[in-house]
Each structure stands twice: as C-alpha cells, then as structure tokens.
Amino acid sequence: VWIHPRTPLFSPRAGAVGATTLKSGFPFSSDLPDPSTPPTPSRPLKKPCDPPSFFLSQGRGERAYDIYSRLLRERIVCVMGSIDSLASLVIAQLLFLQSESNKKPIHMYINSPGGSVTSGLAIYDTMQYVLTPVCTWCVGQAASMGSLLLAAGAPGMRHALPNARIMVHQPSGGARGQATDIAIQAEEILQLKRQINGLYAKHTGQPLPVIEAAMERDRYLSPVEAQELISSH
C-alpha cells in the first residue's frame, strides 16, 4: 500500500485529448424536466443523480461520453458500490482494456463495502488472468471482498489514500433447510474461508496463521496498518 496524498486521481495522457474541446453536459436545475409532465419517447425523464456527460469534438461533429466511459479511455475502472451488481461490468471492462493493450497498466479505483464472495472471486480471477498489470487504489473504503481486490493488485502498485479504511473478515452467510442441507452449506462456507485466507496469504506474503488470526473477526485497518500487513510483499 502506497500513500501519497498529492498523487492525482486522474492524470490524462499527454496529448490524449489534444486540441479538442470538452464541454460539460451535466444537467443543471434549469435543464431538469417538470415532474408533473410525464416522460415521452422524444423527451426521456432525466434523473438529477445521473452521471455527468461530456461532448468531445471529433472532426466535424461531437461525440457524447458519460463520465465513466471517459475514464475508461484513460484505462480507469471504478468499483464503486456493492460488488454483486458491478462484477459483470468490471470484468467486461478489464477484458476490453486487455484487448486494447496488454502492457499499459489498468487503474482500478475501489470504494466498496464488499458483497458476494463468488462475484468478488470472478473479478479477482479476471485480474489475475489478464496480462495487463492492474494497479489498485482504495478511496473511501475497501471492505470484505473489496479488500481482497485491493490486495490482488500488482505488487508495488497497490495504493490507499490517507483517509481510506480497509476491513478484512471471514466470509459469512446463512443456512436453512434440513440438517443435511445446512451441513453442506456450512462446509461450503468453511471451504471459501480457507480459499480466501490462502489468497490473502499469497498477496500479502504473510504466513497463513497470521492471516487466519487477522480474519477471525472484523478488522479495520488504516492505510499505514495495511502497509505493515503487506510489508513483506
């Protein structure tokens, strides 16, 4: 984990935009529709929380980009929110950027409370599959599976901003049904626990007993504490 409060979150490549002009397309209050008027196909309803869009001049015309598509052009992937609903999109973006270049790093910004273990492992496996080095950044929080994605970044390319919080713990879940069904589900959770502990040990360089002790209960870490945890890797 590398802490550098002056590191810019967004550094466009030199000459990436050139002489083109970017114009903000964020809907100000005067642009919002009258809520009493129902939307029509020619007049779609706008939401105040929609991400801003930009218009990039290209030759004789302009092309509209939402903010996340604009960041994707700079090889920036955002994992903001629960991992469950983001997994498919994040995987698709990683594969797309890998096809664009397998040498230029991908920057993944994480602000996530965690989510489904299997969804998180799907993102993790994709990060390990692509040849492109994945640089991870924690902004806000990287909790539960979010912390595993943070740790899964390329060695020397895992970062956390000064006020970020990182939380690790063992997987949790509920079981119901017949006694045999409950036993099957309990064994699956225990297997996932062993698997995840092994992944943390792999990416931190810490002995497995140290990881198991740290993961036994919710453990919150500052960037400095997280840096100490992976200081050997």
Q: Provide CB contacts within 8 A for 112, sequence distance 6+.
A: 79, 80, 81, 82, 83, 86, 141, 142, 143, 145, 146, 149
Is 169 one of the annotated active-site residues of the chain? yes
Q: Which amino acid is at 19?
A: A
Percentages helix, strand, coil for the chain, rounded to the nearest 5?
40, 20, 40
Sign for the CA dihedral angle at 38, 43, 48, 50 comes to positive
Structure tokens at 126: 């994709």
120 three-class SS: helix
Sign of CA dihedral 151, 106, 120, 154: negative
53, 57, 116, 169: which is the annotated catalytic residue? 169
| Contact call for residues 87 and 119 (beta carbons, < 8 A) | yes
Residues 112, 119, 144, 147: which is the catalytic one? 144
Q: Which amino acid is at 27?
A: P
The residues carrying an active-site annotation are 144, 169
